[in-house]
Amino acid sequence: MIRVSQRGISHVLVSVLGWSCLLFASSVFGMAMPPQKPTQSVAAGSNAVMLKADDLRAAPDSKSTLLLRVEKGAQVRLQVSQGGWSQISSAGYTGWVRVLSVRIQNKDGIELSDLGALGKKPQGNVVAVAGTRGLDEKQLGLVSYDAAEVERLRSYVIGRQEAEQYAQAAGLHARDMSYIAAPNQ
């Protein structure tokens, strides 16, 4: 649980005023400054839960000072995610855990995208809307082959060269990386 302290109050501020205030609060309270803009749209100061136990570190680096071990299932506040790291507060400490160790929790009926974040257009209520076109087993079992749509699909197919040109123009560079094995159960 989070202690209500001066530090805690600063987090409330952050959640209310957003990213620009996080920068301000960071400088006032001496929190580690993220070197770059966050790459993920994450609401500042959101309720979150630890998906797995992880080390809370002073900086977004596995070699930085260990502050605390945060247990799986612990309720934390998540400030921001940046690359592979998320800044969280837990038990009065603020530090960094791996981004995949923590997950934002939403309140009933409120979506992540509605919580502020980075200019995302709200997609409407989560309540199911009657009359929307769904895809259930029954419907899928009744359909038949649509040759004209297959032809249309084919018309959009592009070759290797065009894909490579696209990537080059976008500044995307292929990187070597091995497939990841299943975790040991």
DSSP state of 115: G
Residues in CB range of 31: below 8 A, 6 or more apart: 25, 87, 94
Site for another protein in 7-26 (CB under 8 A): none
In b/e form, how buried is each residue of 144-163, taking b as 16+ CB within 10 angstroms? eeeeeeeeeeeeeeeeeeee
Instruction: Give CA–CA dist 60/56, Å, rounded.
Output: 9
Segment 108-137, which members bind another protein (CB under 8 A)? Answer: 108-109, 111-113, 118, 120, 123, 126-129, 132-137
178 lines the binding site for another protein (CB under 8 A): yes
130-137 contacts: CB < 8 A, separation 24 or more? none
CB 45 within 8 A of CB 12: yes
Identity of the residue, 5 or 39, whose beta carbon is nearer to another protein in the bound complex: 39
Could you tell me the smallest distance in angstroms from the CB atom of residue 103 to another protein? 6
- Residues of span 52-71 touching another protein by CB under 8 A: 52, 62
- Tell me how far, at minimum, the Cβ of 181 lies from another protein, in Å: 7
Nearer to another protein, 1 or 127 (CB): 127
1 is a site residue for another protein (CB under 8 A): no
| 146 near another protein (CB under 8 A) | yes
156 lines the binding site for another protein (CB under 8 A): yes
- Rounded to a whole number of angstroms, the minimum distance from the CB of residue 115 to another protein is 9
